[in-house]
């Protein structure tokens, strides 16, 4: 507390000196310093978070919650302080297209967004979600919706209030989306989901009628966790993940986190000794996120230009490596022999084709995180539609479990056996993340669009994947996506990289080709 007060006081007087000069660039220089300080506090918060989820002993829980809350409050205070307001007012617009122009645009957006949310609301949301998450854990363990319902009701009220404070043109959901996907609109997402639903629902029905649901058997058996780890470490090294600027640790819920610019980007994963998929595809996924962060121009560090530009663009990178590379035949034509040698007992009977079919089995199921590429987006569509109904007050929180089950039946032909496997399966709503789910589907759609474009520029990419070489693909992604950090908003970046806005055509083409061939469907 003391150091923060002194820091603010001394900065304030320095800023006043700066303001009294006639050099408007001084305001920009001061703002950069201030935001660098805020970025350092955020990085410290990330380090504490990483530790909390990896190595912290159980006794640290309460103390760590206080430390994290304090750092969050400090960041918000620094962002909306009078000094920051004065700096913003004194700023002149830099030359359009310049790095400084992007810096000022992002700084203003961050400031304006923070300033619109009253401190009271920020605190209430922090408290409500801090209480809701352990309540959700217990409710999920006991399949006890009723005990979680009042928490979600409270969070929903605060989300609606946040949307009103932030403001929107067409729909309150747009205000919430903007946190995760700047520029995204509910109306445009609705169109995207309608296109996906129209094509995917009949395709999944056709495949389900043909499938015996037993293809994935080779993935279940006995798989030594140490050997799994050695294998995925080799693969993500080949992808191009840089170990001098990263590390891999084990956790319950895997994530990727940057501890200050591209110089320290860590991944986490989990291994299941009875099931091969989580360790393999989870690690490929996180490495995709991490290579994005490692590729960002180091000059953007400690500024709003650092980090990925949106959750959807971030997810496009993880999905690209997990699915378009990691679930492809070319990839496994190179890696499967060594995987089979690693696990001769479990995989001895499965040849390459059997394994390829196992990792790409289409099987409608109740759990999102276990869903295949084809059914995954219907899980997201369901959550997107329910979130909108909740925000519009079309649906009461009490009616949510029934609405969930009805949509599961309609889209996937599955009825969850209980609330644990239904409405209570994800942490997102307990964490206050309304508007986050659609970014998963944006990521899937964008991954296919980017991959198609990379292949147009470099038709040799699949051939290289068949030799365990990924430099050309990673180079294309670095050139077109990674190095830019947050400098461009998603729409602009996608247009620059692919020559067109985000659209479902490439993705639907990819799914139809891949699964049509796998299940022997006739192509019209
Ligand atoms: Zn991800």
Note the pLDDT tens digit of each residue in 31-64.
999 999 999 999 999 999 999 889 999 899 888 8
Mode of pairing for the β-strands spanning 265-269 and 248-250? parallel
Q: What is the pLDDT of residue 23?
A: 58
N-terminal to C-terminal alpha carbon distance within the chain: 68
Tokens of 242: 């840089």
The pLDDT value given to residue 3: 35
Residue 393: CB atoms within 10 Å = 9
Both tokens assigned to 457? 């520029």
The CA 315 to ligand 1 mean position distance, Å, reads: 5
Please tell me the distance between residue 39's alpha carbon and the centre of ligand 1 in angstroms. 22
Global pTM value: 0.93
For residue 9, the CA-to-ligand 1 centroid distance in Å is: 40
Q: How far is the CA of 132 from the centre of ligand 1 (A)?
A: 23
| Cα torsion through 372, 366, 254, 154, rounded to 10 | 140
Note the pLDDT of residue 126.
84
* Distance between Cα 25 and ligand 1 center (Å): 39
Distance (Å, whole) CA 477 – CA 451: 9
Would you state the pLDDT for residue 6?
33
Question: What Rg value do the Cα atoms of the chain yield, rounded?
Answer: 24
Tell me the C-alpha distance between 410 and 201, whole Å: 9
Q: Quote the ligand 1 centre to 276 CA distance (angstroms).
A: 19
Query: Which pLDDT value is given to residue 378?
Result: 96
Residues of 316-352 as b/e, b for ≥16 C-beta within 10 angstroms? bbbbbbbbbbbbbbebbebbbeebbebbeebbeebee
Q: Which residue is associated with the tokens 């929903």?
A: 156
3-class SS shares of the chain: helix, strand, coil, % to 5: 70, 5, 30
Tokens of 176: 């919430």
What's residue 9's pLDDT? 35
List the alpha helices (DSSP H) in 306-351: 311-319, 329-342, 344-347
Q: Are 322 and 182 in contact (CB under 8 A)?
A: no
Alpha-carbon distance values, 326 to 227, 303, 365, 367, 513 (Å): 18, 33, 22, 21, 17
DSSP string over 59-76: GGHHHHHHHHHHHHHHHH
Could you say which of 286, 373, 387, 419 is catalytic? 286
DSSP 3-state of 303: coil
pLDDT score recorded for residue 260: 84
Q: ∠ CA 256-261-265 to the nearest 5 degrees?
A: 30
Cα torsion 108, 109, 110, 116: sign: positive
Whole-angstrom distance, CA of residue 89 vs CA of residue 443: 36
Q: What is the DSSP string of 385-444?
A: HHHHHHHTTSS-GGGHHHHHHHHHHHHHS---SSSTTTTTS-STTTTT-TT-THHHHHHH
Q: How far is the CA of 291 from the centre of ligand 1 (A)?
A: 12
pLDDT of residue 119: 83
71, burial (CB in 10 Å: exposed 0-12, middle 13-18, buried 19+): middle
What is the three-class DSSP state of 56? Answer: coil
- Annotated active-site residue 286? The verdict is yes
pLDDT the model gives residue 131: 87
Residue pair 311/436 in contact by the 8 Å Cβ criterion: yes
Measured in angstroms, how far is the CA atom of residue 288 from the centroid of ligand 1?
8
All residue ranges of the chain with pLDDT < 70 are 1-24, 523-524
Q: How far is the CA of 255 from the centre of ligand 1 (A)?
A: 7
| Predicted local confidence at residue 524, as pLDDT | 54
By the 10 Å C-beta count (0-12 exposed, 13-18 middle, 19+ buried), 145 is classed as buried
CA 373 to ligand 1 center in whole angstroms: 14
Helix axes 119-142, 145-166, angle to 10 degrees: 150
How much is the pLDDT for 394?
A: 96
Cα(189) to centroid of ligand 1, in Å? 19
Give pLDDT, residue 61: 82
> Chain-centre distance of CA 291, in angstroms?
14
Which pLDDT score is estimated for 11? 38
User: pLDDT digits over 371-385, tens only?
Assistant: 999 999 999 999 999
Report in angstroms the alpha-carbon separations of 365 from 78, 201, 308, 369.
Answer: 46, 14, 31, 10
Please tell me the predicted confidence (pLDDT) of residue 4.
Answer: 35
In the numeric block, the tokens 């007060």 are attached to: 5
Q: 116: CA distance to ligand 1 center in Å? A: 29
């Amino acid at each position: 507390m003391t150091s923060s007060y002194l820091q603010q006081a001394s900065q304030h007087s320095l800023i006043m000196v700066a303001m009294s000069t006639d050099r408007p660039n001084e305001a920009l220089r001061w703002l950069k310093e201030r935001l660098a300080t805020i970025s350092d506090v955020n990085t410290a918060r990330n380090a504490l978070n990483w530790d909390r989820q990896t190595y912290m002993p159980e006794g640290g829980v309460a103390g760590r919650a206080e430390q994290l809350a304090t750092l969050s409050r400090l960041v918000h205070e620094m962002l909306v302080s009078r000094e920051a307001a004065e700096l913003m007012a004194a700023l002149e617009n830099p030359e359009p297209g310049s790095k400084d122009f992007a810096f000022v645009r992002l700084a203003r957006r961050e400031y304006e967004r923070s300033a619109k949310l009253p401190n009271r609301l920020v605190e209430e949301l922090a408290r409500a979600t801090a209480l809701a998450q352990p309540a959700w854990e217990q409710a999920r363990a006991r399949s006890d919706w009723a005990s979680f319902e009042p928490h979600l009701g409270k969070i929903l009220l605060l989300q609606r209030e946040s949307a009103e404070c932030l403001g929107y043109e067409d729909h309150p959901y747009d205000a919430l989306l903007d946190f995760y996907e700047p520029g995204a609109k509910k109306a445009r997402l609705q169109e995207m989901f309608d296109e996906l639903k129209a094509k995917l629902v009949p395709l999944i029905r056709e495949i389900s009628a043909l499938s015996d649901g037993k293809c994935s058997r080779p993935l279940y058996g006995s798989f030594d966790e140490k050997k799994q780890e050695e294998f995925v470490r080799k693969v993500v090294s080949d992808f191009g993940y840089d170990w001098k600027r990263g590390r891999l640790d084990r956790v319950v819920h895997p994530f990727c986190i940057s501890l200050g610019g591209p110089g320290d980007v860590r991944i986490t994963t989990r291994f299941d000794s009875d099931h091969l998929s989580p360790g393999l595809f989870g690690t490929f996924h996180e490495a995709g996120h991490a290579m994005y962060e490692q590729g960002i121009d180091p000059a953007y560090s400690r500024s709003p230009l650092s980090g990925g530009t949106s959750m959807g663009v971030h997810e496009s990178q993880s999905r690209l490596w997990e699915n378009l590379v990691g679930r492809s035949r070319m990839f496994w034509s190179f890696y499967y022999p060594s995987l089979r040698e690693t696990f001769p007992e479990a995989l001895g009977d499965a040849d390459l084709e059997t394994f390829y079919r196992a990792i790409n089995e289409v099987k409608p199921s109740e759990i999102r995180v276990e869903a295949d590429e084809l059914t995954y987006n219907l899980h997201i569509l369901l959550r997107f539609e329910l979130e909108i109904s909740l925000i519009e007050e079309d649906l009461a929180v009490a009616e949510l479990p029934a609405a969930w089950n009805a949509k599961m039946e309609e889209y996937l032909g599955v009825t969850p056996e209980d609330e644990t496997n239904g409405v209570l399966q994800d942490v997102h709503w307990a964490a206050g993340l309304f508007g986050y789910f659609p970014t998963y589907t944006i990521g899937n759609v964008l991954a296919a669009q980017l991959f198609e474009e990379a292949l147009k520029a470099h038709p040799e990419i699949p051939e290289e994947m068949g030799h365990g070489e990924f430099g050309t693909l990673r180079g294309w992604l670095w050139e077109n996506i990674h190095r830019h950090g947050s400098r461009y908003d998603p729409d602009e970046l996608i247009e620059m990289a692919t020559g067109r806005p985000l659209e479902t055509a490439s993705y639907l083409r990819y799914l139809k080709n891949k699964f049509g061939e796998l299940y022997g469907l006739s192509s019209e």
